[in-house]
Chains A and B, each alone.
Chain A
Amino acid sequence: MIPDGYKPFISDDHFKKESYKKIEKIYAKKEASLLASISAAFDEIPITDGMTLSFHHHYRNGDLLLNMVVEEIKKRNLKHMKLAPSSIFPVHKPLVELIKNKQVTSIFTNYISGDVADSISKGHLKDLLIMDTHGGRARAIETGDLSIDVAFIAASAADQKGNANGIDGPNPCGPLGYIYPDLYYAKHKIVVTDTFIDKLSSNDIDSAFVDYIIKVSQIGLSTGIESGTTQMTKDPVQLKIAKDTVKLIKALNLIKNGMSFQTGAGSTSIAVSHFLKEEMIAQKVQGSFASGGITKSLVNMFEHHLFQELHDVQSFDLDAVMSYKNNKHHHLMDASKYANPFYKNNIASQLDIVVLGATEVDLDFNVNVTTSSTHKLMGGSGGHSDTAYESKLTIITTNLVKSRIPFIKEHIETVSTPGTSVDVVVTERGIAINPLRTDILDHLKDSSLNILPIKTLYQKAVSLTSIPKQIEHKDRIVGLIRYRDGSIIDVIYEVKS
């Protein structure tokens, strides 16, 4: 199944047997020069057919830079370009045309949604889509597995030397954690901003690595960073799942001084944070840190002194951006320090608890967060596999049944995170503990929580929905899911129209 030249996934801890060799960091040869436009950068470097261009996704659905570059590729009729944005959102729809006419033939990313995802699912991308994890992308760039010719760095403000950040200026997007591997190891680095400031609040992007600076009229929309994921759910089913998750954490005696915690930006995750906050206040507990993508809800806990520090790889709302700007204990976390498996004591490895989502889970606790139940691309691991492996306790929250579709299945469409990295699955109809975690099962044997074997949960699901018909897809592989150690854990097929 796995195409030639790629190594298959062996186990989530196999990387421990491998050596790690970084390529040399690439400093700017001279002080950064100011260029007139994106087009001028294409002439100056020059950017030619077949090059790999990278981007970060801190503006999320408010990003304007990738589309500017796409427009220039189109104008110049460049061919066989490879793009390596850390994520792709619906705003990047203009890329579809370049995929269809083979100007962009290969994409490396960690998360993908919207029209570009649909286009790739339909088989329009000539070569492969490689889906990395956040930590895996850092590894790939540091080792040269993913060799980047030009990194385009969207910054909300910069100075004339090329120092920059994502927090000053009229369109802030937060700490730029995902771009550091690109900044250090890409052959050419271009800071693109809409605002020059003499003295920046912080030089998050170090001019020593920056070759060029470009000023554009607007670099991104701050409103886009929220992408509709920052409100706590009002759905009673999701609230029950969130409450039961916190009851589980409590039953495991993990709500204690020094605890560390991470969750995502979804509305259920925010509900988990909300109920955890109530419990931490009730027990008068102060945690050590919260990490990952930072939301208003985690900032709120931090401001209530429930965590001593925040480690922020990206901000999911403007409250998090402002908190990073104004609080010295709210730290920027670069992608490698966050979750690169070869970064010793990465922040993810210091986590006590991570709460993650899923689109499907199988009976071995393998999790799909990459494709829908119809095999269409609609997400990606991001930091899912990274934190699931590294954290001491990994909890997956998911509906057991939603819209007549079971979320626990015998067969899932794609494996993003291996079941060996997952400890618990919390659903509205019960909690399944991975049999590998005999310690947790033992600890909870007298608990009043509704703990059931995952097969029982599956049977409950299909008793409501019946067994779903197997989805048929075409034989052509359109993408590879690259595990954080560089091995291929699964493949993505072209969907039938």
Chain B
Amino acid sequence: MRKSLLFIPANHPGMLQNVDIFEADSVIFDLEDGVALTEKDAAKDLLVSFFQHFHLKDVEKIIRIHEIHDLDIIMSHHIDTICLPKADVSSLKLLDKKLSALEKKHKLDHQINIIALIETPESILNALEIAKQPRVNGLLLGAEDLATYLGVKRTLSGIEIEFARNMVIYAAKAVGIDAIDTPFTDTTDLSGLTKDIEHAKALGMNAKACIHPNQIETVNHLFKPSKEDILYAQKILLAKQQADAQGLGAFSVDGKMVDKPIIDRAIHIINASKE
């Protein structure tokens, strides 16, 4: 389960060198908007060289591609996930096919996953179908592009993306994958970031993309389950263990009946706290 995903422009050697020190769960090496058109070839070359020499451990390596043909150059067994911009059902099917071919060609021993970047009005409305596509294990809301499509300004309260956030969350949770919130673009405003995360988390987001390393600590901290949540989850799981031992199908904790979703949530909280 991801909490923080750090965008890094793939054409910046100084930044690439330090991607693994900030404790982001995932790094998104960006070949799309973060890299000027004239720099994209150089960025792909640099990325290939980077993966040959820097063997990153304990961090998910994600590539945000600019176009599907990028994969012919950059594909390697170091890559975990592809982030597909402006994802829709047809582009995801195409990407799945392409990845299957490349996995075979490169004899990869793992499957490449996909994070679908949801950033058009149409993809918001089709979020559930997108979430159901093969390999997709996360939906990332791209609010900046979406706001442009909608013809609205981004605000601190985020009221203009409330519907989009909910759609992404409901689609992701319906199929049990990550709901990843859009980045907070003011990299100097940590209290604004905190409020933004608290709101997104209250709606159901479980992770957030970051556009600056300084945001990661706040994101990791706020998406980590609270002590109270962990204690309650431990209580639930202990009660379940006792109920199982006594052969009880139904049991209660603190006077409230505990059913499967509550048990699942408790397991999820304990796993997230370990991360």
Contact surface of A with B, Cβ cutoff 8 Å: 236-237, 239-240, 243, 401, 403, 428-429, 464
Contacts of A428 in B (CB 8 A): 18, 21
The answer to whether A236 touches B17, judged by C-beta atoms less than 8 angstroms apart, is no
The answer to whether A237 touches B21, judged by C-beta atoms less than 8 angstroms apart, is yes
Q: Offer 10 A-B interface pairs, CB within 8 angstroms, sorted by A.
A: A236-B18, A236-B212, A237-B18, A237-B21, A240-B22, A240-B213, A243-B217, A401-B17, A403-B14, A464-B17
Contacts of B22 in A (CB 8 A): 236, 240
Any chain A CB within 8 A of the CB of B54?
A: yes
Contact residues, B202-253 vs A (CB, 8 A): 212-214, 217
Contacts of A236 in B (CB 8 A): 18, 22, 212-214
Chain B proximity of A400: nearest CB distance (Å): 9
Contacts of B217 in A (CB 8 A): 243
Specify which of A236, A239, A403 lies most central, judged by the most chain B CB atoms within 10 Å of its CB: A236
Chain B proximity of A303: nearest CB distance (Å): 22
How far is A201 from B4 in the complex, measured between Cα atoms in Å? 55
Contacts of A240 in B (CB 8 A): 21-22, 213
Q: Looking across the interface, which residue of chain B has its beta carbon closest to that of A430?
A: B21
Chain B proximity of A468: nearest CB distance (Å): 16
Specify which of B17, B18, B54, B212 lies most central, judged by the most chain A CB atoms within 10 Å of its CB: B18
Contact surface of B with A, Cβ cutoff 8 Å: 14, 17-18, 21-22, 54, 212-214, 217
Chain A interface secondary structure, helix, strand, loop or mixed?
Answer: helix
Contacts of B21 in A (CB 8 A): 237, 240, 428-429
How far is A236 from B18 in the complex, measured between Cα atoms in Å? 10
Q: Looking across the interface, which residue of chain A has its beta carbon closest to that of B187?
A: A234
Q: Looking across the interface, which residue of chain A has its beta carbon closest to that of B216?
A: A236
* Contact for A239 among B14, B17, B54, B214, CB less than 8 A: B214
Chain B proximity of A434: nearest CB distance (Å): 22
How far is A236 from B214 in the complex, measured between Cα atoms in Å? 6
How far is A401 from B16 in the complex, measured between Cα atoms in Å? 13
Q: Looking across the interface, which residue of chain B has its beta carbon closest to that of A465?
A: B17
Contacts beyond the supplied A240-B213, A428-B18, A464-B17: 14 A-B pairs with Cβ under 8 Å: A236-B22, A236-B212, A236-B213, A236-B214, A237-B18, A237-B21, A239-B213, A239-B214, A240-B21, A240-B22, A243-B217, A401-B17, A403-B14, A464-B54
Chain A proximity of B197: nearest CB distance (Å): 18
Contacts of B213 in A (CB 8 A): 236, 239-240
Chain B proximity of A48: nearest CB distance (Å): 54
How far is A243 from B213 in the complex, measured between Cα atoms in Å? 13
**Closest 8 CB pairs between A and B?**
A236-B213, A428-B21, A236-B214, A237-B18, A429-B21, A239-B214, A240-B21, A240-B22
Q: Looking across the interface, which residue of chain A has its beta carbon closest to that of B212?
A: A236
Q: Looking across the interface, which residue of chain A has its beta carbon closest to that of B21?
A: A428
Chain B proximity of A270: nearest CB distance (Å): 15
Chain A proximity of B194: nearest CB distance (Å): 14
How far is A403 from B14 in the complex, measured between Cα atoms in Å? 7
Contacts of B54 in A (CB 8 A): 464
How far is A243 from B21 in the complex, measured between Cα atoms in Å? 13
Contacts of B14 in A (CB 8 A): 403
How far is A428 from B22 in the complex, measured between Cα atoms in Å? 9
Q: Looking across the interface, which residue of chain B has its beta carbon closest to that of A429?
A: B21
Q: Looking across the interface, which residue of chain B has its beta carbon closest to that of A464?
A: B17
Chain B proximity of A191: nearest CB distance (Å): 45
Chain A proximity of B54: nearest CB distance (Å): 7
Contacts of A401 in B (CB 8 A): 17
Chain A proximity of B215: nearest CB distance (Å): 10
